[in-house]
Amino acid sequence: LVALKMTAYLDVMIPLMFYIALLMVLARWYRDNEMAVLASAGMGITSFLKPAGMIAAGVTAVVALFAFYLTPQALAKGYTIEAEYRNSSEVSGVVPGQFIETREGGGVYYVESFNRDENYYENVFVYKSSFNREGVVVSAIAYRTFDADSGHQFLVLKDGTRYEGTPGTPSYRVIDFETYALRMEPLDRAEIHLPVKALPNAEIAYAEHPILRGEWYWRIAKVMVFPVLTLFALGLSFVDGRGGRASGMVAAFMVYLFYTNILGYMIAAVKKENFSSSAPIWLVHLTFLLIGLVILYRRNFNLPLWPRFQIAYRLRQLKNG
C-alpha cells in the first residue's frame, strides 16, 4: 500500500524534482563561468531552449502517463485492497502474541504463535459471548479451513477444552474435545466506492458534475506545469558572482509555489461551481507562460528582470551624483 500511495504522488513530485535539477545545473554553470564561455561563443540562454525543450517533452510525457493512467490505477488498487481487507473474515486479523477483538465486539482471539511450516496456530484462546452466555475455548493447535459446500470459513481447534455458562450462575459446562470447529461469521461486504482521484479518465472526461470536471482539469494541469516551469528555470537560474547565489533559486521556488497554489485554487473553485468552464485555468497557464517568456527574453539580452526597480535605482544615482 505504501508503494501504491507513493506512486500516486509521482505526477506531482516528478515536475518539481526536474525543475530543481534544471535550476541547480544551470546555476552551477553560471558559478563556474561556463555560461560566460558559451556566451562568448555566441550561445545565449535561448540556445538551451531546444535541449531543455526535449527534456521538458520527455518529462511531460512521463507525467501524463502517471496523471492519466498510473496514478488513478494505483489509487484504485490501493482502495480495493483496503476494502477487501475490511471485508475479509474476522479471523484473518489474528496476530500471534496479541489479543484481537472481533469487529462486532462479541469475541476475543489470542494465539501464542503460528507454525508457518505446518500452517497452524499454537496455543489458541477464544472467547465468545452470545445470548447472555459466555464461552471460552482453549486448544493446543488450530487451523483455518473453508467449506466449499456451505461457503463458510471455520477455525478448527484440536485437543482442547470448552468452558460455557451464564455469568453470575454456577451452571457451567466443561467439555474436552479432540476437534472443535468455530464458524467465522463474515462481515457484510461493503460496496467499494472509489474516490474521484481513482476514477478512470473515461468516467470524468465528459462528466457534468463539477467535482469530476475539477479532477479532469487538475490532471491536465499537472501535465501543463513543467513546460512552463522550464522557461522560468532558464530565466531565473542566473547567478551573479558579486551578488547572492540564492536569489534566483528563491525566486524560482516562489514562482512554483504561486503557480501551483493558484492552479489549486482555480480547481477548487471549479469543484465549488464558481466557474462553469476551464477558461480561468487556461488563463493561469497562459499568464505564467507569458511571464516566463518575458523573463527569458530579458535574461537573453542581459536586461534587468524588474526594470521599474532598475529605473528607480538610476534616478537615485543621478540625484546623489
Question: Which tens digits make up the pLDDT trace of 9-49?
Answer: 899 999 999 999 999 999 888 888 888 888 888 888 888 99
Q: Is the pLDDT of residue 187 over 60?
A: no
Confidence (pLDDT) at 145: 83
What is the predicted pLDDT for the residue at 275?
A: 81
β 107-115/100-101 pair status: antiparallel
**So what's the pLDDT on residue 241?**
56
pLDDT tier at 310, thresholds 50, 70, 90 = low
Amino acid in the structure at residue 21: A
pTM: 0.68
What's the pLDDT at 129? Answer: 78
**Quick one: average pLDDT of 105-121?**
81
- Record the cell numbers describing residue 98, joined without a space: 496479541
CA 158, distance to chain mean position in Å, is 45
Cα 19 to Cα 59, 138, 253, 271: the distances in Å are 10, 62, 9, 28
| pLDDT for residue 222 | 94
Contacts of 99 by beta carbon, 8 Å cutoff, 6+ apart:
108, 109, 110
Calculate what percentage of the chain has a pLDDT beyond 70. 83
What residues pair up with 136 in beta bridges, in sequence order? 127, 163
Asked if residue 288 has pLDDT above 80, the reply is yes
pLDDT digits (tens, 9 = 90+) for 47-105: 899 999 999 999 999 999 999 999 999 888 887 877 665 555 444 556 678 787 776 66
Q: Which residues contact 126 (CB under 8 A, 6 or more apart)?
A: 107, 108, 109, 110, 136, 137, 138, 155, 157, 182
Distance CA 286, CA 227 (A): 12
| pLDDT of amino acid 316 | 61
Arithmetic mean of pLDDT, 276-285? 90
Closest CA to 191 of 103, 80, 89: 80
- Please tell me the predicted confidence (pLDDT) of residue 89: 44
pLDDT band at 273 (very low <50, low <70, confident <90, very high): confident
pLDDT-derived band of residue 117, with 50, 70 and 90 as boundaries?
A: confident
List C-alpha distances in Å: 197 to 73, 77, 78, 99, 143: 10, 12, 12, 37, 40
- Give per-residue pLDDT as tens, 257-269: 999 999 999 999 9
Identify the residue with better confidence: 277 or 263. Answer: 263
Nearest CA among 230, 192, 199 for reference residue 214 = 199
- Residue 33 is predicted with a pLDDT of 83
**Interval 228-239 mean pLDDT:** 90
Four-point Cα dihedral 162, 166, 171, 172, nearest 10: 10
List pLDDT tens digits, range 188-228: 555 667 888 889 999 999 888 999 999 999 999 999 999 99
CA–CA distance, 313 with 158 (Å, rounded to integer): 90
What does the H/E/C string look like for the chain?
CHHHHHHHCHHHHHHHHHHHHHHHHHHHHHHCCHHHHHHHCCCCHHHHHHHHHHHHHHHHHHHHHHHHHHHHHHHHHHHHHHHHHHHCCHHHHCCCCCCEECCCCCEEEEEEEEECCCCEEEEEEEEEEECCEEEEEEEEEEEEEEECCCCEEEEEEEEEEEEEECCCCCCEEEEEEEEEEEEECCCCCCCCCCCHHHCCHHHHCCCCCHHHHHHHHHHHHHHHHHHHHHHHHHHHCCCCCCCCCCHHHHHHHHHHHHHHHHHHHHHHHHHCCCCCCCHHHHHHHHHHHHHHHHHHHHHHCCCCCCHHHHHHHHHHHHHHC
What value does the mean pLDDT take over residues 163-170? 79
Are the C-beta atoms of residues 124 and 141 closer than 8 Å to each other?
A: yes
Which pLDDT does position 84 carry in this prediction?
A: 65
